[in-house]
Amino acid sequence: MTFPLGVDIISKDDLHKYNELLNDPEVIADPNQLQQLLQNLLMKMTSGMDVSQVFISVIKVCGSSNMVIKKLAYLYLSHYAEEKSDLALLVVNTLLRDCKHPNPMIRGLALRTFSSISVVEFLEYSMQPCLDGLTDKSAYVRRVAVNTCVKLHRQHPQFTQDNGIVDTLYAMIRDKDSIVVINCLMGLEEILRMEGGIVINKKIAYFLLNRLKEFSEWGQSLLFNLLLKYKVENEDEIIDILNLSDSYLKHPNSAVSLAAVNLMLQMTSDLHLREDVYKRVRGPLLNVLTNGSSHELVFAALCHIQWILTFSPKLFTKHYKKFYCRYQEPEYIKTKKLDLLRSLVTPDNLQDIVDEISVYCNDMSTTFATCAVQTIGKIAKEKPLFTNLCITCLLSMLKLQLGHVVSEVLTAFQDLLSYKANGKYVDTVMEHLPDCASSVSDDKGKTALLWLVGHYGQKLPDAPYLLEDYIDDYEQERSAEVKIALLTSTTKLFFFRPAECQSMLGKLLDSAIATENDIEVKEKAVMYYMLLQADVHKAKQVICASMQPIPENSHLSTNQSQPKGKFNTLSLLLGKDSFKTTSKTKKFSTEIGEKDSREDVVGETLVDNTSIDKDELDSPGEAVEGTLVDLDIFSDPQNAGAVVNTETVISKYIKDVAMTPNEFEEKWNQWDTRVDVEMPLLECPSTSSILEALSANFIKTLATSDEDTKPWKAFCFAQESSGCVYLVELHYHQDNEMIAYKIKCQEKHNTEIETLVTILKTCFT
């Protein structure tokens, strides 16, 4: 049997051929031919071709008793059902019949197909099969039924309330099948997301911990993450949980082991046991570095080790050799290992680590080689006791006569000799400077060399001659940074050795003033010329003021900056700054007559000084009054660079407007939801800053929940000058860095509601 061929498009003749074959009794009677035909049809569908014209023919095949054919037909049906919603209703009876089929695989397949069809008319037909599936004898059907509940909740939230789905799923956590349990947990987490997700009490926590071995690796990692929600009662309970989780620290799956580590660290955050947990974690993390794991996994382990070192600096000190770089490792791993080696340096291992890092300076990768030089320079800078050995090592690298290495060494010397404590090394460093001039070719190295000559050239006999070569090549130099460094160095050296530098300085200033095109270089030359012309002695005081070395007590701290991010999350690998964006939003200011009460401005407490009880979150309190200063501009995070003038926006909202809780509740129950949004946050603002931002935009806060309530809730309203009123309900999930809000208004087609959405997004950033 031959099928129509097509690459990018499919012709009407091809579709006609498909229809003929699907209606051919011989093809239908032959399962192999029919299966091959449907597979070919799905292949074209998944490649982007429109094969919806054979929809009615495929529906006829759905009643086949062959499991494979039925599955292929249902896949096609799920894809085109929304587009062909009227015709899709023809298959409802077939699906309902299959939901009661003796074969559990067919029952599950039909139920999954029901939930995959996003057609409103299908909702009423899929509800009862879903409820029946929750009590089915087959574990496979129960798994599908739980997932179907979540999909139905997204399309029709009232279904969950009317049928007590939440209570049912909580009861099904004790199901014998581990996958059903996992599906129930994740389903509850999804359905209850607006309320902070599933609640893990003591019974559930211990039940899950005792059944951990029954779950798959994926399920175990999810369970450990969910158990983070459980609040332990005492230290004995913590020890019990640690004992149950201990065996998973050495689990071969990294997701499971890291999730177990994260749970143990969270449980012991305020206890003396935390250091013991770090020791237990050390072995599994080091094994990842040495057992031939993938490069990605090794990098993740290194990031987590760096995070742990901020809390337990000496944990990996004896194992520093585990962090030596391997030849076949990619550059990003080698660079991360260098950062860790810098953190692990002690008087006992200093010589070994510096010798090892100095070998990396010969690496074929210039980027990694310069990074190795920088690491030695940072060790010398951050840990003064090790400076002598590090400088000796850096000086030995100059003998390599590699341009990129010499350049980085000079840059390290520039940084080190800025400190008064390192002044004893000036003579040693300056002796090697003449030999470096011929090896340096990049702008960074030239700038460092000129800085050293300008600051300490009086101790170097050949200093004027080094500068003379650069002055002769001034017109060929393209870097403004190098030219400025040359101007400064020559001028400073002139004050100490005027006879040798006078003609050189005159030639340099003449070239910089007369022929220079870079305005910064030219202005620097003019300034130096005018200072020298006015008073040489005062010019020396001004220009040489920056030559004073930094005092010893200003030496950088030896503490490393803490890595940003949370344990066992992607933010730890990328750093929290990776998710931040630049915002042009101005800070909100308040002005409340003679009284500046932040508490009254942001609405953290109500007018009658009564806060909302956790069980009374649906009862808004009193309105907050206040006079606030307008904003000038704010930027919409959804349109980078687009600036909106808030004078035109805020002027639409009435400043002095009030509403009682009863009025709010009455309108909230009567009006329809126009906007229902859930969005992640780049940063977690405080609740007070959110309320302050709302007030500054004339969005009145009627009531809030307690600050410790999870999720934190707020009920707000705003009224336009045209009379249109907006009601807003906020749910702030600080743990998940999510915020959700609903907006209700009476007008069905209100285009101005987008302005309110823009303002709300700005208040959350």
DSSP string, 53-70: GGHHHHHHHTT-S-HHHH
Query: What is the reported pLDDT for 550?
Result: 63
CA distance 75 to 56: 14
Query: What is the reported pLDDT for 561?
Result: 52
Total number of residues shown for the chain: 765
Averaged pLDDT score across all residues of the chain: 79
Query: What is the reported pLDDT for 596?
Result: 35
CA distance 463 to 458: 7
Query: What is the reported pLDDT for 140?
Result: 92
CA distance 753 to 555: 55
Nearest to 464 by CA among 509, 525, 505, 425: 505
Query: What is the reported pLDDT for 591?
Result: 32
DSSP H or E segment with residue 729: strand 725-733
Q: Are strands 725-733 and 738-745 parallel, antiparallel or unpaired?
A: antiparallel
Q: Which residues of 365-375 are buried (b: 16+ CB within 10 A; e: fewer)?
A: eeebbbbbbbb
Q: Are 504 and 468 in contact (CB under 8 A)?
A: yes
Burial class of residue 464, CB neighbours in 10 A (0-12, 13-18, 19+): buried
CA distance 720 to 759: 14
Query: What is the reported pLDDT for 706?
Result: 85
Q: Are strands 700-704 and 725-733 parallel, antiparallel or unpaired?
A: unpaired
Query: To 5 degrees, how large is the angle CA 623–CA 629–CA 631?
Result: 110
Query: What is the reported pLDDT for 179?
Result: 93
Query: What is the reported pLDDT for 338?
Result: 92
CA distance 33 to 618: 61
Largest interatomic CA distance in the chain: 109
**Structure token digits, residue 507:** 């030639």
- In tens, the pLDDT along 502-520 reads 888 888 888 888 888 888 8
Q: Are 438 and 473 in contact (CB under 8 A)?
A: no
Query: What is the reported pLDDT for 546?
Result: 62
C-alpha distances (whole Å) from 101 to each of 106, 129, 452 are: 6, 12, 86
Q: What percent of the chain has pLDDT over 90?
A: 13
Query: What is the reported pLDDT for 497?
Result: 84
Cα 394 from chain centroid?
Answer: 37
The 3-state DSSP composition of the chain as helix, strand, coil percent (nearest 5) reads 60, 5, 30
Which regions of the chain are under pLDDT 70? 1-11, 420-423, 546-565, 575-652, 748-751
**Structure token digits, residue 739:** 């915020």
Query: What is the reported pLDDT for 562?
Result: 57
CA distance 221 to 252: 12
